[in-house]
Amino acid sequence: MTEGLFACRVDQTGAIPKQTYVLDLMQFAEAEQVARSRSISLENAAAEVFIRTLPDELTTKLQQKNLGLDYRTLDRAVAKGGDIKYIDFRKDWSPHFKRLCIMPDGRLVETGGLEEFAQLHGITSAQAKTLVEQGGTLEVNGEILACQIVNGQPAVARFTARNYAKAKELVSAKGLHIMDALSEVAYNDPVMMRSLVRKELSGGR
């Protein structure tokens, strides 16, 4: 859960501004699946996976020169800077990112507010608030919720008691942090990973 992917996309023609973004663990795993299944570079796969997380309105703006901004309406000091040359999605657009929770049975469940998140996992609103704001782990009826904060947004995975036990064994045997141990368990669990494969084959968001 502590591992992810930092990407920088540069259009050699200069037609598209340089773009930087960070993929969380789940998005990184999906990008690797896309790269392998379609024999494309990880860089291109990462860009494709990232774009899928953006609302349609923002995706449309990305295809327009200067994000569709009308420079006649901008402050003169801003407009004189010229065309947009660099977009940092981590800082500028992170509030728009969609985040999914990968469930023990492989389902990807999108969550909205804290109440919806708390209801999904059977925890209190206070516990949900702490988890999604600070990250970390939370035991729930023998299972465990693991939350990684990327771009200020939570990415959550829920593990069965069995996988939680496997992760604790890795912590003991390899001296790993529990989040890294859970990451390793998730990568090696075909049930948890199958939803990412299915998502790619369907071509859906």
Residues 6+ apart with CB under 8 A from 37: 197, 200, 201
Tokens encoding 170: 């890795």
Comparing CA positions, the residue from 188, 170, 191 lying closest to residue 179 is 170
pLDDT 10s digit of each residue in the chain, 205 long?
456 788 888 888 877 888 888 887 778 888 899 999 999 999 899 988 888 877 777 888 888 887 777 777 767 766 677 777 777 776 544 444 445 788 888 888 877 667 778 888 999 988 988 887 788 899 998 899 998 776 556 678 899 999 999 999 999 999 888 888 988 888 888 888 776 555 444 444 4
Looking at residue 96, what is its pLDDT?
A: 42
Looking at residue 164, what is its pLDDT?
A: 92
Looking at residue 166, what is its pLDDT?
A: 93
Yes or no: say if 46 and 31 are a contact pair by the CB < 8 Å rule: yes
Yes or no: say if 86 and 72 are a contact pair by the CB < 8 Å rule: no
- Rounded CA separation 183/47 (Å): 22
Q: Classify each residue of 114-140 as buried b or exposed e, where b means 16 or more C-beta atoms within 10 Å of its C-beta.
A: beebbebbebeeebbeebbeebebbee
- Rounded CA separation 30/14 (Å): 28
Comparing CA positions, the residue from 50, 63, 47 lying closest to residue 10 is 47
